[in-house]
A and B are shown apart, each in its own frame.
Chain A
Amino acid sequence: MTDTRWIGNVLMAARPQAMAALLRHFRDLETAEEAFQEASLRALRAWPKNGPPRDAAAWLIMVGRNAAIDAIRRQSRTTPLPPEDLISDTGDAESEQAERYDASHYRDDILRLLFVCCHPELPATQQIALALRIVSGLSVAQIARAFLVSEAAMEQRITRAKRRIAAASVPFETPGAVERSERLAAVAGVIYLLFNEGYTSSVAEDRAPAALCEEAIRLARLVLGLFPAEPEIMGLAALMMLQHARAPARFDAEGRVVLLEAQDRARWSKPLIAEGLALVEKAMRHRRPGAYQVQAAIAAEHARAADAAATDWSMIERLYGVLEHMQPSPVVTLNRAVAVSKARGAAEALDMIAPLAKSLDGYFYFHGARGAFLMELGRADDARHAFDRAIALANTPAEAAYIRERLDAISQPAGRRV
Chain B
Amino acid sequence: MQYTILCYHDEKVVCAWSKAEDDAVMARLHQVHEKLAANGKLGPVVRLLPTTTATTLRKDREPPLVIDGPFAETKEQLLGFYVVNCETLEEATDIARELGRANPGGCYEIRPIALFMDAGAAK
Contacts and interface: CB of A to CB of B under 8 A. Distances in A.
Q: Do chains A and B interact in one complex? A: yes
Interface string B92-108: 00000000000011000
Interface stretch (B29-37, B48-56, B83-91): B48-56
Interface in B55-114: 55, 66-69, 73, 75, 104-105
A222 interface: yes
A29 B104 CA distance: 34
B49 A278 contact: yes
B13 interface: yes
Interface string A258-276: 0000000000000100110
Contacts of B53: 275, 278-279, 282
Interface residues of B, number: 24
Which range contains the number of A residues in contact with the other chain?
20 to 34
Contacts of A218: 15-16
Contacts of B16: 9, 12-13, 218
B52 A279 contact: yes
Interface string A210-229: 00001000100110110011
A225 B51 contact: yes
7 contacts: A9-B17, A221-B52, A224-B52, A225-B69, A275-B49, A278-B49, A285-B55
Interface string A278-314: 1100100100000000000000000000000000000
Contacts of B104: 1, 6
Most buried by B among A218, A228, A234: A228
Contacts of A6: 104-105
Contact of B49 (A5, A9, A10, A274): A274
Given A275-B53, A278-B53, A279-B52, A228 B12 contact: no
Given A103-B73, A282-B68, A10 B51 contact: no
Given A1-B104, A13-B13, A228 B49 contact: no
B67 A229 contact: yes
